[in-house]
Amino acid sequence: MKFKTIIEPFRIKTVEPIRRTSFSERQHALLAAGNNLFLLHAEDVLIDLLTDSGTGAMSSAQWAGMMRGDESYAGARSFYRFEAVVQRITGFKHVIPTHQGRAAERILFGEAVNRGQIVPNNTHFDTTRANVENQHAEARDIPVAEGLQPALIAPFKGNIDLAALETILREEGDRVPLVMITVTNNSGGGQPVSMANIRATSELCRRYGKPFFIDACRFAENAWFIKMREAGYADKTPLEIAQEMFSYADGCTMSAKKDGMSNIGGFLALNDDALAQRCTNLLILTEGYPTYGGLAGYDLEAIAVGLEEALHEDYLQYRTRSVAYLGEKITAGGVPIMQPPGGHAIYIDAKAMLPHIPQHEYPAWALSLVLYLAGGIRSVEIGSVMFGLQPDGSEKPAVMELVRLAFPRRVYTQSHVDYLAEVLLYVNSIKTHIRGVKIVEQPPTLRHFTARLEPAHGALLVGLDSAEFE
């Protein structure tokens, strides 16, 4: 190609206005939300990077698919179309639709995981961990050591620690019902897992007789990184790479709200007939009949089209490039981030950026609040508020304190990203004025969604004139 600029590989047919707010409006909104960005009204957010889950823009082909949705209760045409696409990509025999990823987790773990057992994973994301713990089992994270060093640049920081996995299987194997790998590793910076690591995990699981499941939310982004970074894959298509990834596993859980490019949906796919039967029975009890599983026929159509669009090379190149573009701009301006940029998000290393805020005052949470106050940007803390509360009620600081800026798929353009960079660099320039926060109200599990917080020292920002922000 003669020209190097990577463009958004689409044109825009429908637009949704976003609203600017004043600094004092944002102050009031934050106060009303108990200093928890989850509790804001989305209308008070200018650029919403809370999550890449269910927030993407659908294509004209997906909307067209929705119009042909078959809403039959049983045996709908839309289900068979959905099933065929999932089977083509994953190769798994049984496809069980669910309303989103956590329902697939709940059903799988409900049937396969028992009290006192251990589920190893490169890193469990929040709901995955909570669903393991809901079975009174232990969710054990074993990422490779390099995955825990934000500044280190390495191609596959999402890998599972194979030596640690083998030790668990050898010494505590009787307590391991299944092994999981999350692609890409969301809690660990959206970092990819290599094909070699997936293959070696599969071999270990076979040797010890354990089923191996992939948490496949971002399988297409992971396939793209394998194509870009792993020897031997440059000439393969993302579909071929995804097919190989899944070929090493016995099943997967999937949130179609990510690389399914849909606003809702998910599935559990697996090969084991008996387990699939038990999961289907539980599905009927809690989600719906097996050919819709809590979804409308039109959702199944949107997912069937979306799963294929997520594997288009133009799309994957644009997507990973727009995330890296933000990463490069703010790295050049001195903002410490998880390197290299991940597939769906930039993760700011708040521990490195705000060394004056101790971990028990939640530096990443405080930073996420300031990003909102300064520029109307909504991000999410992936740190000690999200992961610090243990099942026994004690508090243990998270390994990393990250602020994730997750990119909805096909929603924002380059000027939005330029604006983000400007706000982030500004906040970096006032970072010594930022103070920590404390939790004043929290539920017993998944506290980050509903907890209320307050500044730990009277104010979130000290020594700054609010005129700065207008």
Residues binding ligand F0G (CB under 6 A): 51, 53, 100-102, 125, 127-128, 182, 186, 215, 217, 255, 257, 266
Sign of CA dihedral 259, 263, 268, 269: negative
User: What are the CA-CA distances from residue 335 to residues 4, 24, 132, 173 (Å)?
Assistant: 26, 26, 35, 42
User: Distance between CA 362 and CA 353 in Å, rounded?
Assistant: 13
User: Distance between CA 143 and CA 161 in Å, rounded?
Assistant: 5
Using the minimum distance from each CB to ligand F0G, give the nearer residue, 210 or 218: 218
Question: Least distance to ligand F0G from the beta carbon of 100, Å?
Answer: 3
Question: Least distance to ligand F0G from the beta carbon of 358, Å?
Answer: 26
Residue 50: Cβ within 10 Å count:
20
User: Distance between CA 134 and CA 470 in Å, rounded?
Assistant: 46
Using the minimum distance from each CB to ligand F0G, give the nearer residue, 159 or 435: 159
Residue pair 364/382 in contact by the 8 Å Cβ criterion: yes
Question: Least distance to ligand F0G from the beta carbon of 265, Å?
Answer: 8
Name the residue number minimizing CB distance to ligand F0G: 101
User: Distance between CA 310 and CA 61 in Å, rounded?
Assistant: 13
What is the distance in angstroms between the CA of the first residue and the CA of the last residue of the chain? 44
Taking each helix axis from N to C end, the angle separating 363-375 and 414-429, rounded to the nearest 10 degrees, works out to 120
Using the minimum distance from each CB to ligand F0G, give the nearer residue, 400 or 456: 400
User: Distance between CA 69 and CA 303 in Å, rounded?
Assistant: 11
452 beta partners:
441
Question: Least distance to ligand F0G from the beta carbon of 305, Å?
Answer: 18
User: Distance between CA 239 and CA 242 in Å, rounded?
Assistant: 5
Q: Over the range 7-28, which residues count as b (16 or more CB within 10 Å of their CB) and which as e?
A: ebeeeeeeeeeeeebebeebbe
Residue pair 450/443 in contact by the 8 Å Cβ criterion: yes
Phi, psi (rounded to 5 degrees) for 469: -95, -10
Question: Least distance to ligand F0G from the beta carbon of 401, Å?
Answer: 17
Question: Least distance to ligand F0G from the beta carbon of 185, Å?
Answer: 8
Question: Least distance to ligand F0G from the beta carbon of 142, Å?
Answer: 16
Token pair in block for residue 390: 């243990």
Question: Least distance to ligand F0G from the beta carbon of 53, Å?
Answer: 4
* One-letter identity of residue 78: S
182 beta partners:
215
Question: Least distance to ligand F0G from the beta carbon of 320, Å?
Answer: 17
Sign of CA dihedral 61, 66, 72, 73: positive
Question: Least distance to ligand F0G from the beta carbon of 99, Å?
Answer: 8
Question: Least distance to ligand F0G from the beta carbon of 388, Å?
Answer: 18
Question: Strands across the sheet with 138-141, in order?
Answer: 94-98, 266-270, 251-255, 212-215, 179-182, 118-121, 138-141
